[in-house]
Amino acid sequence: MMIELMDITKSYGSEENLYPVLRGISFNIQDGDFVVLLGPSGSGKSTLLNVISGLERPDSGRILYDNTDITAMSDEELTFFRKEYVGFIFQQYYLLPNLTVDKNVKMGADLAGNRNYRQIIEAVGLVDKMDKYPSELSGGEQQRVAIARALAKKPRILFLDEPTGALDEETGRLVLDYLCRLREEYRFTMLMVTHNNNIAEMAGTVIRMNSGRIVDRYNNSTIKSAYEIGW
């Protein structure tokens, strides 16, 4: 699924104190690519991720998924779009606290009618934790549940907002390694926001942002694994 962004702008605040976060962003993402959005805090990368994924609407511009403009969609259509195509992994995990690991993953699986979701729990190494609640897991384990939940709905595009931001180095590497292996297996497009320059070495395409603008964009000739990059 090809994604095309055309002159996206987004501002926050009231009319008197309008703060532009995205200032005319345009680029394409090829089907199956692993794209990293790099930039310092406040550069607008998380807002851009939210806008591309349909969680937020831009003030102007168009976002085309295989020539279908999602900015023209109603709320119900956007919900359906997210259901059909999109998976999310957030820095804060956002697991449902009242549900076990198994049921949290089932939340994603049910949307895609995926009855074999337990294979994914196995793939992320949490079979022995299936009956645990999120509060009974470590940060790394919670993030792996979030990964399993996102993948259980068989997304075409996976959006990740600082997925290793709250993890230590070792757990962070483990999570990234899982993600890359699963991407190869399930063949989805991945768009990850991070401020860690080294993670960019794992991606096919790197987009650098600053002050709401794209300042650089390049493709990596050699892609490194999670255990080859610095931290």
Q: Minimum distance from CB of 145 to another protein (Å)?
A: 13
CB 10 within 8 A of CB 22: yes
Q: Which residue in the set 16, 17, 67, 76 belongs to the binding site for another protein (CB under 8 A)?
A: 76
Closest of 44, 111, 114 to residue 81, by C-alpha? 111
Least spacing, CB of residue 53 vs another protein, in Å: 8
Query: Which of the residues 119 through 148 are near another protein (CB under 8 A)?
Result: 131-133, 135-136
Q: Does 86 bind another protein (CB under 8 A)?
A: yes
Of 149, 146, 75, the closest CA to residue 114 belongs to 149
Tokens representing 204 are: 């096919």
Q: Which of 17, 98, 116, 222 binds another protein (CB under 8 A)?
A: 98
Q: Which of 62, 70, 150 is nearest to 106 (CA)?
A: 150
- Minimum separation from the CB atom of position 218 to another protein (A): 29
Residue in 13, 19, 96, 181 binding another protein, rule: CB under 8 A: 96
Q: Does 80 bind another protein (CB under 8 A)?
A: yes
Distance CA 144, CA 127 (A): 11
- Contact assessment for residue 159 and residue 86, using Cβ atoms and an 8 Å cutoff: yes
User: For the chain, how many helices (H) and strands (E)?
Assistant: 6, 10
Contact 195, 40 (CB under 8 A): yes
Shortest Cβ distance from residue 209 to another protein (Å)?
A: 18
> What single string gives the DSSP state of each residue in 24-44?
EEEEEE-TT-EEEEE--TTSS
| Per-residue DSSP letter, 170 | H
- Give the interface segment with another protein, choosing from 62-70, 105-113, 195-203, 215-223 (CB under 8 A): 105-113
Tell whether residue 217 is a contact of another protein (CB under 8 A): no
Whose Cβ is closer to another protein: residue 50's or residue 205's? Answer: 50
Is 83 near another protein (CB under 8 A)? yes
Size of the site for another protein (CB under 8 A): 36
- Give whole-number Cα distances, 4 to 26, 102, 132, in Å: 8, 35, 40
Dist CA 216 CA 193 (whole Å): 15
The answer to whether residue 82 forms part of the interface with another protein (CB under 8 A) is yes
By CB under 8 A, the residues from 46 to 65 that bind another protein are: 50, 55-56
Residues that bind another protein in the complex, under the rule CB under 8 A: 50, 55-56, 75-76, 79-84, 86, 88, 90, 92, 94, 96-100, 102-103, 106-111, 131-133, 135-136, 149, 153
